[in-house]
């Protein structure tokens, strides 16, 4: 029944590319996406689809009521960029210094907008209501999903589906997981207060760099010696700042990093063990410390039935050659908040660009734009699959 719609989405490929490249040239950071939100809102204004702006911040929610009875299902796309200088050689590279779309959110937005446009001629044939959920601020905790939910973005919604253009996966492939898919993403900051002094007189100091160095090593023992090898966790120290001169022993050192886990019990174990390691290192050197731990996005856990629907829907989508379950990833995603509120699933749409080896969040990040109509198709196919199950 929806074969013609699939063809129509292929026909909107050039418009998807145009929108994606426009947004790519004018990126905006998380919680500052005012012009992007206006662009999205104006698109729905021209389509004549009712929408609401400023939902939980810069979020935009549009609704297309079908002509047949059915459930209300939300399809989500995020639209914030990252604080990265665009270093690729492309005519659509970012025009904003130090800001770029380095994760594919511009593509998510372009695909969802064009899906909305493609559905208008089929309005009377659509069962239920399609909710187009355009979310701001996915990249920075506390994220945009939670405030949008608190503002009522899911009111009346029965299920939620979302996809991420994924450059580790070939174009034509769809991947997801039946339950745990993305890890919880936390952050920490450790400040060590020692006693500085002359580089030639270490015995008169409390060397913050030495203590911090010991911590960088010992924190890795939490995962290797305190977590069941059959479970997963990551403790990463991302920055280490200390000292200002080559011949001065630093009195303070600051370590910042992230913790990734898939369940609360392991998360609590990591936090407790970190406190022990930090306290032990500082006490042994007669130093003091401050330890700040920020619980970020919870783990993204798909609902098994909806994950099955995604794979079955993808397998019946023109252009999709492979649809399968894969192992979870340790990255974080605030789509997890939607999964705590409603049934649904999140999945990868393959967007690997041949010969382009730069990963997500890299200054030269880019993706194969042929994935754009595929992501739009699979989102709608998931929508229909859910309707058919109810």
Known binding residue 282? Answer is no
CA dihedral 264, 267, 268, 272 (to 10 degrees): 180
Report the SS3 class of residue 72.
strand
Is 389 strand, coil or helix? helix
Please check if 136 is assigned to a binding site.
no
Buried b / exposed e over 206-230, threshold 16 CB at 10 Å, is bbbbbbbbbbeebbeebbeeebeee
Exactly one of 33, 78, 138, 366 is catalytic; name it: 138
164 marked among binding-site residues: yes
Cis peptide preceding 142, ω within 30 of 0: yes
Identify whether the C-beta of residue 185 lies closer than 8 Å to the C-beta of residue 90.
Answer: no
Using CA atoms, how far residue 160 sits from 137, 185, 338, 377, in Å, is: 18, 21, 7, 16
Q: Which of 206, 189, 191, 207 is nearest to 253 (CA)?
A: 191
Does the active-site annotation cover 80?
Answer: yes
- Residue 35 is among the residues annotated as catalytic for this protein: no
Of the residues 8, 28, 80, 273, only one is catalytic, namely 80
Is the torsion defined by CA of 243, 244, 249, 250 positive or negative?
Answer: negative
DSSP class of residue 298 equals P
The b-or-e profile of 269-278 (16+ CB within 10 A means b, else e) is bbbebbeebb
Q: Is 159 helix (H, G, I), strand (E, B) or coil?
A: strand
- Consult the annotation and say whether 277 binds a ligand: no
CA distance 376 to 342: 21
The annotation status of 114 as a binding-site residue, yes or no, is: no
Residues that are catalytic: 80, 138
Binding-site positions for Mn(2+)? 103, 105, 139, 164, 361
Binding-site positions? 103, 105, 139, 164, 361
């Amino acid at each position: 029944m929806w074969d013609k719609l699939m063809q129509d989405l292929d026909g909107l490929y050039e418009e998807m590319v145009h929108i994606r490249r426009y947004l790519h040239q004018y990126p905006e950071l998380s919680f500052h996406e005012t012009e992007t939100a206006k662009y999205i809102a104006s698109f729905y204004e021209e389509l004549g689809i009712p929408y609401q702006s400023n939902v939980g911040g810069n979020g935009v929610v549009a609704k297309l009521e079908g002509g047949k009875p059915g459930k209300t299902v939300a399809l989500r796309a995020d639209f914030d960029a990252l604080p990265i200088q665009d270093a690729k050689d492309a005519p659509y590279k970012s025009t904003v210094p130090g800001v770029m779309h380095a994760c594919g959110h511009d593509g998510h937005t372009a695909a969802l907008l064009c899906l909305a446009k493609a559905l208008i001629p089929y309005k009377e044939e659509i069962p239920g209501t399609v909710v187009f959920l355009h979310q701001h601020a996915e990249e920075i905790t506390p994220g945009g999903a939670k405030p949008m939910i608190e503002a009522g973005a899911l009111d009346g919604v029965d299920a939620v589906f979302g996809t991420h253009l994924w450059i580790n996966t070939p174009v034509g492939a769809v991947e997801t997981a039946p339950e745990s898919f993305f890890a919880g993403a936390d952050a920490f900051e450790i400040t060590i207060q020692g006693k500085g002094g002359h580089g030639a007189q270490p015995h008169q100091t409390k060397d913050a760099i030495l203590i911090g160095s010991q911590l960088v090593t010992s924190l890795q023992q939490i995962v290797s010696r305190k977590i069941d090898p059959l479970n997963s966790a990551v403790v990463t120290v991302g920055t280490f700042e200390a000292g200002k001169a080559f011949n001065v022993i630093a009195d303070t050192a600051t370590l910042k990093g992230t913790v990734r886990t898939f369940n609360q019990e392991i998360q609590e174990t990591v936090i407790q063990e970190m406190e022990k390691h930090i306290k032990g290192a500082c006490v042994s050197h007669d130093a003091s410390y401050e330890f700040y731990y920020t619980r970020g996005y919870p783990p993204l856990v798909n609902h098994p039935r909806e994950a099955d629907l995604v794979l079955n829907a993808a397998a019946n989508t023109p252009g999709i050659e492979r649809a399968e379950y894969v192992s979870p990833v340790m990255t974080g995603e605030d789509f997890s908040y939607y999964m705590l509120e409603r049934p649904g699933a999140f999945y990868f749409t393959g967007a690997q660009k041949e010969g382009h080896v730069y990963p997500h969040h890299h200054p030269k990040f880019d993706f194969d734009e042929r994935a754009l109509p595929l992501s739009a198709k699979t989102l709608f196919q998931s929508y229909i699959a859910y309707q058919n199950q109810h």
